Amino acid sequence: MRYVIFDDNKWSNFFPITFTRCTGDLRVGILKLRQRIAGYFGFSENNIITSSFLEGIYKERHEDWKINDLTKEETLFINSRIKINKKIQKKIEKLPLNSCLINNNDVLAAKLIPAEKKISSEDISTLFEDLKKIEIDSVLLWEYTWELIKENPDYITRDFEDFFYEKDNFFDTEPGITIMNPYNIWIGEGTIIKPGAVIDATQGPVILDENARIMSNAVIIGPAYIGKNSIVKVGAKIYEGTSIGSVCKVGGEVEGTIFQAYSNKQHDGFLGHSYIGEWVNLGADTNNSDLKNNYKNVKVYFYPENKKIDSKSKFMGAIIGDHTKTAICSVINTGTVIGAGCNLFGRDIIKDFIHSFSWGEGADITEYKEEKFLETVEIVKQRRKLKLSKEEKKLFGNIRKLVID
């Protein structure tokens, strides 16, 4: 049996985060969506179907993956947006050949022997047209980025119980570190916790992944996840529902927020109920609002409809795309969506919706020139001993055409 994780035509629901990654690479809890699916089904090979927009960058980054290629063998296709659990896993495993599991016309999973050919998420639906449809009633697919934020605390706990609780735990702390409910804490190999730190797992698990560094007087309250090679700065306050991906530096006050990876919020300032892409840098004393003064639901810009819609949540901060920077003392309003590749500064509040590749402040926002943007990206990546590739440049150019031209 071959397993394929596919993005469907709702990839754009998660813009601007999915401008630069497939839906399956969105993080919620400890894991990315595709990692959780693979963990439940117990396969290790990486076969994905993504948009043609992202095909080049994925083939460059993952030479050993099968990307947008079908082979003539029995294959189980699984939607990357699925909220996988043991119950739905069993239903998928029992799918007869030439059938698919659907909910509200969305295909959750399908089993068939496809013809050998190329395909992408734009035309994936044609693969399932002639299959027997098996309808289920439960809502089992992610629809919006703010759902990931809202459900993040629960998924941290689930991932801890499903994937980390029985893994080798390098739990070994020095004097001067306060540990609360140690049975709910998992520490990876090479992780360093400095004296004065408080790890509080009384309300949910805390996972400190491999080679993380928790500096003195930092407080981490579970459920929380700190990713591989990430640093929690001196005196940081990491509240429940926070997931910090790999190679991040985080300080100040953070609550209910997801960091994909490679992003920095090193200094004081509050960040709440937000979703942060990669290579984002929030300047010192950048603050965001995650609750309206009237306590009403927050409306958030939704790319497919080109307007703000009700998030059905009272707590909703910001969604910030890859390679966006804010200057010192920036203020971000409730429910703000900031695209990829922005450079924002000044005293005016950042609010509503900021187009990708925007430069400036308040009402005086212009286009962030391509050569200047790429120059900054190159410098930033060099600091991590990485290079800006031709495919990345091509991808940024395509994003620019999509949102500006």
pTM value is 0.96
Q: Are residues 102 and 183 in the same domain?
A: no
Residue-level pLDDT at 404? 67
Range of the domain at 334: 146-403
Q: Are residues 221 and 85 in the same domain?
A: no
Q: Are residues 166 and 277 in the same domain?
A: yes
Q: Are residues 182 and 272 in the same domain?
A: yes
- 320 Cβ partners below 8 Å, 6+ apart? 16, 274, 275, 276, 277, 280, 338
Q: Are residues 132 and 171 in the same domain?
A: no
Give bridge partners of residue 338 from the DSSP assignment: 320, 354
Q: Could you tell me if 86 and 42 are in contact, meaning their C-beta atoms sit under 8 angstroms apart?
A: no
| Residue 219 region by backbone torsions, left for phi larger than 0, else alpha for psi between -120 and 50, else beta | beta
Calculate the dihedral angle through the C-alpha atoms of 185, 187, 191, 192, rounding to the nearest 10 degrees: 30
Of the candidates 112, 151, 164, 159, the one whose C-alpha atom is nearest the C-alpha of residue 133 is 112
Total domain count, the chain: 2
Of the candidates 42, 84, 197, 196, the one whose C-alpha atom is nearest the C-alpha of residue 185 is 197
**pLDDT values of the chain reduced to their tens digit, one per residue, 405 residues:** 999 999 999 999 999 999 999 999 999 999 999 999 999 999 988 999 999 999 999 999 999 999 999 999 999 999 999 999 999 999 999 999 999 999 988 999 999 999 988 999 999 999 999 999 999 888 789 999 999 999 999 999 999 999 998 887 877 777 899 999 999 999 999 999 999 999 999 999 999 999 999 999 999 999 999 999 999 999 999 999 999 999 999 999 999 999 999 999 999 999 999 999 999 999 999 999 999 999 999 999 999 999 999 999 999 999 999 999 999 999 999 999 999 999 999 989 999 999 999 999 977 899 999 999 999 999 999 998 899 999 999 999 999 998 765
Q: Are residues 237 and 365 in the same domain?
A: yes
Task: List the CATH number of the domain containing 315.
Answer: 2.160.10.10
Q: Are residues 81 and 129 in the same domain?
A: yes
CB atoms within 10 A of CB 158: 20
Q: Are residues 262 and 382 in the same domain?
A: yes
Across 307-346, b (16+ Cβ under 10 Å) vs e yields eeeebebebbbbbbbbbbbbbeebbbbbbbbbbbbbbbbb
Of the candidates 109, 142, 175, which is a domain's last residue? 142
| DSSP line for 36-86 | HHHHHHT----EEE--HHHHHHHHHH-TTSEESB--SS-EEEEETTB---H
Tokens for 67?
């990307």
Q: Could you tell me if 277 and 16 are in contact, meaning their C-beta atoms sit under 8 angstroms apart?
A: yes
Q: E strands along 85-168, which residues?
A: 99-103, 106-112, 132-135
CA distance 386 to 10: 31
CA distance 246 to 82: 23
Q: Are residues 138 and 161 in the same domain?
A: no
Of the candidates 142, 160, 187, which is a domain's last residue? 142
Q: Are residues 109 and 199 in the same domain?
A: no
Give bridge partners of residue 82 from the DSSP assignment: 141
Q: Is the dihedral of CA 391, 280, 295, 239 positive or negative?
A: positive
Q: Are residues 120 and 224 in the same domain?
A: no
Of the candidates 142, 177, 209, which is a domain's last residue? 142
Pairing, β 358-361 against β 343-344: parallel
CA distance 211 to 188: 7
Q: Are residues 132 and 156 in the same domain?
A: no
Q: Could you tell me if 155 and 28 are in contact, meaning their C-beta atoms sit under 8 angstroms apart?
A: yes
Task: List the CATH number of the domain containing 71.
Answer: 3.90.550.10
CA distance 180 to 98: 51
- Angle at 105 (CA atoms; ends 104, 109), nearest 5 degrees: 100
CA distance 319 to 301: 10
